Structure 1
Amino acid sequence: MNNWKTYIKDYQHYLKLERGLSQNTIENYTFDIEKLVLFLSENSISESPLTISEETVQQFIYKIASEVNARSQSRIISGLKSFFSYLVFEDYRTDTPMELIEVPKTGRKLPDTLSVQEIDALIQAIDLSTLEGERNRAILETLYSCGLRVSELVNLKISDLFFEEGFLKITGKGNKQRFVPIGSITEKYISIYKNQIRNQIKVQKGHEDTLFLNRRGKQLTRAMIFTIIKDLASKINLNKIISPHTFRHSFATHLLENGADLRSIQLMLGHESITTTEVYMHLDRKFLKEVLQNYHPRK
């Protein structure tokens, strides 16, 4: 199976250097290939990335189809297609064993959103008598008011704060930078945290410019942000499965419902394509009816 390791390593270098993908994305792509390698090992099939046939891949797809839902299945197939296309691109293979393998049809899953009242309730549930409380309030306000990805939030630097101009400088996927407007309320909470709480923490070497720190003076992990949000959700008995991404979805949805145009939202979210932003068009019919009544000449 070492043969696979070499090609996977090459592929990872390609994704990083040529495609400019983030470490998280590269790990997700690799995880899908490793599932296939595990399947070969468990079934004593000794095929390399260069010799594996369509039949073998099909057997693997049948197996995962019984274990995961259509959405996860699609993601794994798409990951494998990318890997074998890379092998063809680099002339390691002349064909791809994924040619005739179809991706199962999945309905586009609409992201969960929170109402403004639910977001307020989550923020009000934060215990502000602790040092972490002020930090967590600033974190939730930033996630919701600026629509950041969780990786963008944990990597946010003090030198990225341009409060006088009213913007944050965000480094997104593929190291692409964008400026996101920041409102005065969020600015206020970040300033309280930065000036009154953060300066009480002994900052570890290398984290001097990191905005949000854990109690040991290091950058917060993505997992920690998930935990903070999960704990607050259970505190207010919120009957929804939420994550940091839910705040990003809510940011986009609330902007759209209040009349912002898709192109502006796309720029703020840092979406490469407008079709990604269109996921947020899952508005209720009542809202669409109001749009028609307000804007159509034949209403």
Structure 2
Amino acid sequence: MENLVDLVYRFKDYIFSERKLAENTIDSYYNDIMQFYEYLISLSEINNIEDLFKIEILDDYIIYLSNKEIENRSIVRKLSAISLFLKFLKIEEIIKENPSYLVTRPKIGKKLPVYLNLEEVEKFINSFNLTKSEGIRDKALFELMYSCGLRVSEISGLNIGSVYFKERVLQVFGKGSKERYVPIGERAITELENYLSKGRPFLVSKTKKTEALFLNFRGERLTRKGIWKNLKINAKLAGIEKNFTVHSIRHSFATHLIQNGADLRGVQSLLGHKNISTTEIYTHLDLTYIKEIYQKFHSHK
């Protein structure tokens, strides 16, 4: 089975160089395939590599994942990774057929994303300790994230040169390194200027040079995990009991635009969504908001 390990490594190179998937997607797919590999090597009675990828094996793997109480949404994602892996094996002529297209995938319902209302956004963004460089940084970071509707990987990947202060525009590289430009709000500009003059200079390392916009205490680029950790700490300090994530800031940006009458196509462009069907989820959130208003103010509820 050693050659299968080599194929997994080659697959990782393939999705990086040929498919040009985002770094987070590559890591996720690689981990899913390695988990699948661990399952395959447990099937000691199978020696032929073709036999490892029969539809019966894939069906058994779905049952195996379900028995481990893994959510359907995660199972579907793992199957997507396996499907791409088998496609790669077919291209490389390792296998003759790709049976993954015949697999019945578990059904998943649409889950409405969690978002903050305007009051909660204000409470959260004003919760940072501005006597510390890290607090100045985090206020600027989350204000920018809310102002531009950024993904956590996008804001982590920003450089100083990504911000065009004169034009008040931000250069962003989204999924698949797709470039887009988004406007920056007045408040975000103010917080960024404050961070660059009063926060970042105290985080810069004397021995490490970097163009990264947001730095950690070691003077290195602030990672996704670091941003997530800072959000959790300050959400608690702000007294927000809602269980929200870094991505909820992006959801809040889109939801508030829709609530205020923004065009769906415009929101799609700002978010960098390839398909408008992805953006349409926010119309459902808006409907929830409308229902709340109706229940609160209509006399014949």
Aligned in 2, Cα 1:226/1:56: closer, same or farther, shift over 3 Å?
A: same
CA contact (8 A) 2:33 2:81 kept: yes
Q: What is the TM-score of this pair, normalised by structure 1?
A: 0.90
Indicate how the Cα distance of structure 1 residues 254 and 47 shifts in structure 2: closer, same or farther if over 3 A, else same.
farther
Distance 1:252 1:228 in 2: 22
What is residue 40 of structure 1 aligned with on the other side? 40
Deviation at 1:45, TM superposition (A): 4.6
**Which residue does 2:62 correspond to in 1?**
61
Structure 1 residues 36-45 or 192-201, which shifts more? 36-45
Cα distance in 2 between the residues matched to 1:90 and 1:218: 39
| CA distance in 2 between partners of 1:286 and 1:16 (Å) | 41
Pair 1:5 & 2:5 matched: yes
Question: What residue ranges of structure 1 are gaps of 5+ in the alignment?
Answer: 291-299
1: distance between equivalents of 2:210 and 2:194? 18
Structure 2 unaligned regions, length at least 5: 294-301
Matched, 1:278 2:293: no
Q: How does 1:200-279 map to 2 (within 5 A)?
A: 200-203=202-205, 207-279=209-281
- Aligned equivalents of 2:267, 2:159: Cα separation in 1: 23
Q: Percent identity?
A: 36
Partner of 1:296: none
User: Would you say the 8 A contact 2:228–2:245 is kept in 1?
Assistant: yes
- Within the candidate set 143, 146, 151, 1:141 is matched to 143
Is the alpha carbon distance of 1:288 and 1:170 closer, same or farther for their aligned partners in structure 2, counting shifts above 3 Å? same
Q: Go from structure 1 to structure 2 and tell me whether the alpha carbon gap of 1:113 and 1:48 turns closer, same or farther (over 3 Å shift).
A: farther
1:48-70 Cα distance to aligned partner (Å, 9 max, x none):
65331222222111110122011
Root-mean-square deviation (Å): 2.0
Aligned equivalents of 2:282, 2:64: Cα separation in 1: 33
Residues 152 and 224 in structure 2, CA contact (< 8 A), matched pair in contact too: yes
What amino acid is aligned across from residue 220 of structure 1 in structure 2? Answer: L
Q: Over residues 29-84 of structure 1, what are the superposed CA-to-partner deviations in whole Å (9 max), with x where a residue is unaligned? A: 11111112111233435456533122222211111012201111111112211211
- Contact 1:204/1:216 (8 A) holds in 2: no
Q: Which among 123, 126, 136 is matched to residue 125 of structure 2?
A: 123
* Amino acid in the other structure paired with 1:226: W
- Residues 158-167 or 228-237, more deviating: 228-237
Q: Deviations over 1:188-240 (max 9, x none)?
A: 00000001221233336664321111111111111010011111122233222
Aligned length: 290
Equivalent position amino acid for 1:175 in 2:
S
8 Å CA contact 1:161, 1:169 repeated in 2: yes
Instruction: Output the CA distance in 2 between the equivalents of 1:230 and 1:176.
Output: 29
Query: 2: CA distance between counterparts of 1:97 and 1:204?
Result: 55
> Which deviates more, 17-26 or 252-261?
17-26
Q: Which residue of 2 aligns with 1:297?
A: none
TM-score by length of 2: 0.90
Compared CA separation, residues 147 and 286, structure 1 to 2 (3 A): closer
Alignment match, 2:298? none
Distance 1:254 1:86 in 2: 42
Alignment partner, residue 177 of structure 2: 175
